[in-house]
Amino acid sequence: MAASPQELRLPERVGRYEIERLLGRGAQGAVLLARDAELDRSVALKLLKRDPHNEPGTLVSEARIVSRLQHPNIVTLHDVGNYNGCNYLVFEYIEGLSLKALIDNEGALPFARCVILMSQILAGVAYLHEHDIIHRDLSPANILISRDGVPKVTDFGISVLRQSLDPNTDSSAAGTLRYMAPEAFLEQPPSQAVDVFTLASIFYEMLTGRRLFDGDGPGDIINEIMHGPAVDMSARGFDVDARIARIIEQASRRDPATRYPSAREMKNELDAFRLPRQENDPDADVHSTVEFLLRRMSFKRGFSSLSQHVGQLLEIASEDSLAPAERLVNIIAKDVTLSQRVLTMANSAYYGKGEITALGRAIVLLGLDQVRMCIIGVLLENEFEAGSTLLRQAMALSFHSAALAKALAPAFGIRSRPEAFSCAMFHDLGRLLTIHYFGEEHAEILDRAARLHCDELTASRQVLGIAYHELGAAVGLQWKLGPTLVGAMKPLPRGVAEMPATEAERQRLCAGFANAVSRIRYEHDSPDYRDVMLADVAHRVGPVACLDPAEFDAALRESAALTAQYARLLRIPVEDGSGIARLVTTENWAGAA
């Protein structure tokens, strides 16, 4: 009788596969990292325990069907074979970690990340179900998270083809005990509802960091699965959106006839939460994660009242507006915070002396340019009221880049300097929203960027399922900011910029450049390193902007002075050696441009 993989020393070769090391062991066998010598690629080879019920011919037959399946959320099966009496399966190798390891390391995952990951997992399982395959052994250990954050369902060791099941013979319990469905212990033939029950357990564990069935031994676990109370998230002390709680409750019902019949139905229900639709909605094709995040922001804190008028205010406050001043006064007067800010700026020593109490006079004294800056600043401050120190620092960073863009607008051939200020101020809106509304996800973005040596933009797409600028654009549309401001949220092109054909494209490049310069100054304390990075970003916009070093240096000084005032308004401490301190310093600016 052949030895099990646990009793075997690692072979040097299994078939054509060169064995490199052990990846892990499980109830079914051992998973080995191997090299496919013929195709020169790494693979994951699962060497199964010898099972008299699992004939090689049956395994090969099923593997031929499974190997033809291709989906971004399932691990592809490449090959199947037999080694010393033990069957083996060869899968694509996913460099990353399992969902189990992720939960073990981090505990409960951030809500938005849970919903996004589960929707992707359901997509993979739904694909299997639609090809008449029941997984039967889903668990966090059998879901891999790739380095770019994509979940992939793996381990088809006991999967079966639904259409080939014999109800009279294939009724044995199979799977990982804590994640098995009740019918597995009742000698009922498996159905797609088996996987649905398991997915409910996995979703619960992702959201809470705890197993749904966590008895001390096999008997206790089975008793919980068969006779425990229905899953009630609130009764268990977890504050989860009621719609998500209902999805888990229905998916985990003991009677398979009352669950979602397949992963597709469960996914449809989850996606109805992620992307609510309205009849005749012209934006119905918006990315689902944008819809979910917009709803999440609205749920946590409603949009400020000022946001309903911002588009109209910015239009009236533009340089070429022919609207009467009374319209601007009337709208500003509707928002107490904005009115106070305009009056405060008008009465400050920087703009004039004397006590000004009339909005109309304050607007005349400040000029439309400064009023526009007021409107933008107050809109963001209203939306992010009571924000963290990190958020206020990020707002100061955006303000610095806005002041810099306004000063550099002529170099980019831009006619409207106030609009350049607005575009740069809103350029990083997606990041500001993430810091404020999704603090845990933002921390994960920073950690991932550091670990993987990638930029925040790349990490934001991996964690949120969408990049910062796409999130900002979605909210910009909600606020009716207009196509120029929304378009300016796109990042600066990675290579050398092409000559823009429109004013909007010039605004985008100016905003991207100004934000890049401000981030360099904020994040790096080495003058030599800053010079190198500034020279690089200046080179990227070289064909578009005529950046005279002396004018560039003057623009940086002006931006620093304005940002120092803004930091005082937001009560941001300026500590020696901090990023804010570097932004507001008016000496020793590098003329890297």
Q: Which amino acid is at 513?
A: F
Alpha-carbon distance of 231 to 266, in angstroms, equals: 16
> Can 195 be counted among the known catalytic residues?
no
Q: Select from 550, 578, 544 the least CA-distant residue to 563.
A: 578
What are 416-475's pLDDT values in tens digits? 887 888 889 889 989 988 887 778 888 888 888 888 777 888 888 878 777 898 888 888
Structural contact between residues 2 and 50, judged by C-beta atoms closer than 8 angstroms = yes
What are 232-245's pLDDT values in tens digits? 776 677 778 888 88
Radius of gyration of the chain (CA): 29
Tell me the average pLDDT across 73-88.
85
If residue 235 lies in a helix (H) or strand (E), which one and from where to where?
none
Could you report how far apart the first and last alpha carbons of the chain are, in Å?
A: 75
Alpha-carbon distance of 549 to 545, in angstroms, equals: 12
Q: Which amino acid is at 402?
A: A
For residue 125, what pLDDT is reported?
93
Q: Residues 137, 195, 335, 428: which is the catalytic one?
A: 137
What predicted TM-score, i.e. pTM, was given to this entire model?
Answer: 0.52
Alpha-carbon distance of 489 to 471, in angstroms, equals: 10
Alpha-carbon distance of 47 to 78, in angstroms, equals: 14
For residue 489, what pLDDT is reported?
93
Residues 6+ apart with CB under 8 A from 273: 115, 241, 243, 244, 247, 292
For residue 146, what pLDDT is reported?
86
Alpha-carbon distance of 201 to 211, in angstroms, equals: 7
What are 552-564's pLDDT values in tens digits? 888 999 999 888 8
Q: Select from 20, 36, 148 the least CA-distant residue to 81.
A: 36
Task: Place 81 in a pLDDT band, splitting at 50, 70 and 90.
Answer: confident
Give CA 92 to chain center in angstroms: 25
Tell me the average pLDDT across 503-517.
93
Give me the helix-helix angle, 468-478 and 288-300, nearest 10°: 60
